Structure 1
Amino acid sequence: MNWTDERVEKLKKLWSEGLSASQIAAQLGGVSRNAVIGKVHRLCLPGRAKAGGSTAATTRAKRPATSAPRAPNYASRMTTRTVTRTAGATVMKEEVEIDVIEDQETAPVGNVVVPMSRRLVLTELTDRTCKWPIGDPMKDEFHFCGNDSPDTSPYCTFHAKLAYQPSGERRRAR
């Protein structure tokens, strides 16, 4: 099968109308879906038109309405961005609605006391010592905190606060 000028024009028209490669192949006749995709790629045609309207409206409709309050130190606003993505050999442009979250300034806590490390090696650790690693394990200076830890934690009180943060604080730290 040869790609005549008429067939190429019909391909371009059907592609711009949003028909799939299989539908175009059926209408042209004597050509496979893969041949249509290859020709579209060689012609560098833009992504197919979407049937059913814009994706921004679809995204907006799918978003669940939440009444949960946001973290108090973040400002959020909605914006729409045009993004391109590939689907096989086609490049598609679509508008996506995104939440833009801006970090607001927070004041650091002033009275933080970092405990002195007992500088224990692995063989010196017990069930009642802090197992917080300090330094690079490949270096000779590597050691563990070694301070007393409660029965329920492998870490001392200070390192347990670092290791186990509530989920709200983890989100704010990003």
Structure 2
Amino acid sequence: MTDSAILEQIYREAVASGGKEAFVRTLEITCPAWSAPVLICNGFKDRICGTEDGRLVTFEAANIGIALAAKNNKGNQALAFGVDNTTGRVRHYADQALDASARVTAVYRVYLASDLSAPCEKPCRMTVQSDSFESNNANLPCGFFDLIGTGFPRDVANTKRFPALKYL
């Protein structure tokens, strides 16, 4: 069986009632203004998982709600994450990022509960676009494909790449 066929079968088992396989969804949020990334996973217990670059990280258990991206041709794709029971810690991190005017990035990974050594899907790298807080819930919309904001042509002709341009 190919990898995609195995993953498709696992998805079918997980969706059907009584399936043996469960998914662990994780979120790694990083910012240059922070000393360490924020690592959270869905469920009721902390998990030690391997990443695609060979690191072993401990994800803290949290209640994560995920609104998956729409499959359309709008030009940008977004995931929305809702994290419950955040207390003031998330607001503190958001204030640090705002004060430093730093970009906040997120990596969304999906693991099989039976194999936490590596993600079962390709990780999704995104930029956190905004945040909102209601009581102890944090909502984080993240974009992972911004066609409208992508420059064209992507290779810019400058004097560093093409020294002769300075004589024009």
Looking at secondary structure, tell me which structure has more helix per residue.
Answer: 1
Instruction: Report if TM-score (shorter chain) is over 0.5.
Output: no
Determine which structure has more spread, i.e. the larger CA radius of gyration. 1
Short-chain TM bin: under 0.3
Q: TM-score, normalised by structure 2?
A: 0.18
Q: TM-score, normalised by structure 1?
A: 0.17
